[in-house]
Amino acid sequence: MRDMRRFRAEIELPVQRFGEARVYWDQQGRWVLIKDWLLPPGLNRETSHVVILISEHYGYGAPLGDCFIDPELKALNPATGRYEEIPHYFIRYPYVEMKVGSPEKWFKARWRYLCLHQQAGADMAINILNYLHQLYKFLAEPFRDWGSTFASYHRTQ
């Protein structure tokens, strides 16, 4: 069960940031929609709508890990100089279990799933705005090998 008091308090942050007219959410706290979210440079579009699915145990340490964005986004690959398909950006929701709707419904509504999971215990406040910050940074460099980039800071003692 989500901590709805936490959710209702937290939703004020994106409302303040983006304005009431651009932020929508489910009364059960299952999702948040931000309209016309500004994308980083290097993509073939300047904005996208974003839906963040809110974890079932959000507010009790569960991180955020699922979002949908507009279809047909491509990113400029600096290695090739061409706009290419974004990694981890799925036409259909790729997992078996889905808590909100069905993969078919999301597909028909013209959403694409982007697989970006916050890490629990990553020493960063888990909240909707921080998730958006991470999404922005991923999309700023979508072809980066993020796993090895993060791992390069793990010292071998």
Partner 1 sequence: MAEIVKDGYILEIEDIPYGQPVTGREIQERVSRQTGEAVPGVPYVQRDGRLRHLRAEEPIILRPGDRLGFTAPFETA
Residues at the interface with partner 1 (CB under 8 A)? 40-42, 65, 87-88, 115-119, 122-124, 130, 133-134, 137-138, 140-141, 144, 146-150, 152-153
**By C-beta, is 72 or 147 nearer to partner 1?**
147
**By C-beta, is 4 or 61 nearer to partner 1?**
61
Given CA atoms 97, 118, 51, 140 in this order, what sign does their dihedral have? negative
H/E stretch holding 137:
helix 128-140
**By C-beta, is 23 or 64 nearer to partner 1?**
64
Is 7 in a helix, a strand, or coil?
A: helix
CA separation for the pair 52, 66 (Å, rounded): 6
Shortest Å, Cβ 31 to partner 1? 19
Shortest Å, Cβ 119 to partner 1? 5
Closest by CA to 36, choosing from 53, 55, 58, 21, is 21
Shortest Å, Cβ 15 to partner 1? 18
**By C-beta, is 4 or 124 nearer to partner 1?**
124
- Beta carbons within 8 Å of 108's beta carbon, 6+ residues apart: none
CA separation for the pair 70, 145 (Å, rounded): 23
Shortest Å, Cβ 47 to partner 1? 15
